[in-house]
């Protein structure tokens, strides 16, 4: 059990929240909404624990001295937390269609890649549903690769500690099987089970440089990541993703990513799900 007393109750009083608002406004021109205060509280509480900081002032000094730390805070404030099994339609398809189809593979081999995995919720969700759906999963040769270029996010991903609020919506049987509860100060967190952690390999990788994934993948999840690139780079990445999938393999992208606008190598299946056709 972790113990990290005295952090949470001092966090984000009105004047502290105003200071953060001012810093984010000055550096990024973004106005932090009052509605983001609760999720910021969760984020900062966990971040202070990870950095070993005991007071809000120490955290604020860290923000002042580190642009990377400030960018992390802005990311946390502007993107809602990536949540477990977040892309519900996609996880429904993976659970009900894709994995039962792959379960018939006599080689019992599964290769999945979570691109732009951020803090790890998506690859752990994949490990969770694969463990639930594939019969005799212990016998399978499974590689779930998760990549991102943000080494800080990958550190959080490897630790696998998340605020309880992020997993509350999961069915109780998932919670009991795949998480253990933790208390940090007054706050409740969960840590992902070692069995799931062992199924995921995290690698730092820039999508515009060499890729660590070479073997043909059964599926690639690339959510909310293509938006970071201009159109020519998107086309280049989508073509490389096609090369990395086996024929018939699945590509899952964000709602606004129209893969067919960049490549004719995929058959659209609806709901931002594609299948490699050539
Ligand atoms: C909004 S997050 C998406 C998280 C997750 N896929 C989801 O949908 O919840 C986008 C991620 O893409 C990563 N990213 C941005 N540019 C990248 C690049 N050039 N190479 C690798 N990852 C990148 C960011 O670090 C960030 O973690």
In order, the DSSP letters of 159-204 are HTEEEGGGTTTS-HHHHHHHEEEEEETTEEEEEE-HHHHHHEEEEE
* 224 CA → ligand 1 middle, Å: 7
For the chain, domain boundaries: 8-78, 88-159+194-276
d(CA 92, CA 87): 9
Tell me, what's the pLDDT at 3?
A: 29
Of all atoms in ligand 1, which is nearest to the CA of residue 222? 6
What lines the ligand 1 site, CB under 6 Å?
Answer: 79, 82, 86, 116-118, 122, 148-150, 153, 206-208, 223-225, 228
d(CA 122, CA 223): 9
Helix (H) or strand (E) holding 141: strand 141-148
d(CA 199, CA 211): 19
8-78 fold:
Chemotaxis Receptor Methyltransferase Cher; domain 1 (1.10.155)
Nearest CA to ligand 1 atom 11: 116
Between these two residues, 71 and 70, which has the higher pLDDT value?
Answer: 70
Between these two residues, 176 and 200, which has the higher pLDDT value?
Answer: 200
Nearest CA to ligand 1 atom 8: 223
98: closest CA among 128, 130, 127? Answer: 130
Tell me, what's the pLDDT at 78?
A: 58
Nearest CA to ligand 1 atom 9: 82
* 201 CA → ligand 1 middle, Å: 16
* 10 CA → ligand 1 middle, Å: 31
- DSSP three-state, residue 11: coil
According to DSSP, residue 258 is labeled: -
Token pair in block for residue 171: 């069915």
pLDDT tens digit sequence for 208-250: 999 999 889 999 999 988 888 889 999 999 999 999 999 999 9
- DSSP three-state, residue 9: helix
pLDDT tens digit sequence for 18-32: 888 888 777 766 666
Contact 185, 5 (CB under 8 A): yes
d(CA 76, CA 274): 29
Contact 248, 220 (CB under 8 A): no
| Strands, E assignment, the chain | 109-115, 141-148, 161-163, 179-184, 187-192, 200-204, 217-222, 245-253, 266-270, 273-276
pLDDT tens digit sequence for 81-103: 346 777 888 998 999 999 999 99
pTM, full prediction: 0.75
pLDDT tens digit sequence for 248-264: 999 999 888 899 999 99
| pLDDT tier for residue 40 given thresholds of 50, 70 and 90 | confident
Is domain 88-159+194-276 annotated with CATH 3.40.50.150?
Answer: yes
Share of the chain above pLDDT 90, in %: 53
* 118 CA → ligand 1 middle, Å: 6
Nearest CA to ligand 1 atom 1: 224
Tell me, what's the pLDDT at 6?
A: 37
Cβ neighbours of residue 198 under 8 Å, at least 6 residues apart?
A: none
Tell me, what's the pLDDT at 83?
A: 64
pLDDT (average), residues 177-201: 92
Q: Are β-strands 273-276 and 266-270 bridged in parallel, bridged antiparallel, or unpaired?
A: antiparallel
- DSSP three-state, residue 226: helix
* Pocket perturbation via mutation, ligand 1, pick of 126, 210, 228, 252 by most ligand atoms within 8 A of CB: 228
Between these two residues, 77 and 85, which has the higher pLDDT value?
Answer: 85
- Which residue in the block uniquely carries the two structure tokens 């009991």? 176
The helix-helix angle for 37-51 and 151-159 (nearest 10°) equals 90
């Amino acid at each position: 059990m972790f113990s990290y007393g005295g952090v949470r109750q001092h966090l984000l009083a009105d004047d502290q929240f105003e200071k953060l608002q001012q810093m984010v406004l000055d550096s990024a021109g973004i106005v932090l909404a009052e509605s983001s205060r609760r999720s910021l509280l969760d984020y900062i509480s966990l971040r202070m624990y990870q950095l070993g900081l005991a007071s809000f002032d120490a955290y604020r000094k860290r923000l002042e001295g580190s642009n990377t730390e400030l960018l992390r805070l802005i990311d946390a404030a502007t993107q809602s937390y990536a949540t477990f099994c977040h892309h519900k339609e996609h996880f429904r398809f993976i659970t009900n269609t894709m994995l039962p189809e792959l379960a018939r593979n006599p080689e019992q081999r599964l290769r999945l890649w979570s691109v732009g995995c951020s803090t790890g919720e998506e690859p752990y969700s994949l490990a969770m549903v694969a463990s639930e759906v594939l019969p005799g999963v212990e016998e399978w040769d499974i590689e779930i690769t998760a990549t991102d270029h943000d080494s800080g996010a990958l550190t959080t991903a490897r630790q696998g500690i998340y605020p309880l609020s992020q997993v509350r919506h999961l069915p109780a049987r998932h919670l009991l099987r795949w998480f253990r509860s933790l208390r940090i100060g007054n706050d409740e967190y969960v840590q992902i089970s070692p069995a799931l952690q062992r199924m995921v390999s995290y690698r730092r990788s820039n999508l515009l440089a060499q890729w660590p994934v070479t073997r043909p993948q059964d599926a690639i999840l690339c959510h909310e990541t293509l938006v970071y690139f201009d159109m020519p780079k998107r086309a280049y990445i989508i073509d490389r993703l096609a090369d990395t999938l086996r024929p018939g393999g699945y590509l899952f992208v964000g709602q606004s990513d129209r893969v067919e606008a960049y490549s004719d190598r995929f058959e659209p299946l609806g709901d931002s799900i594609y299948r490699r056709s050539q």
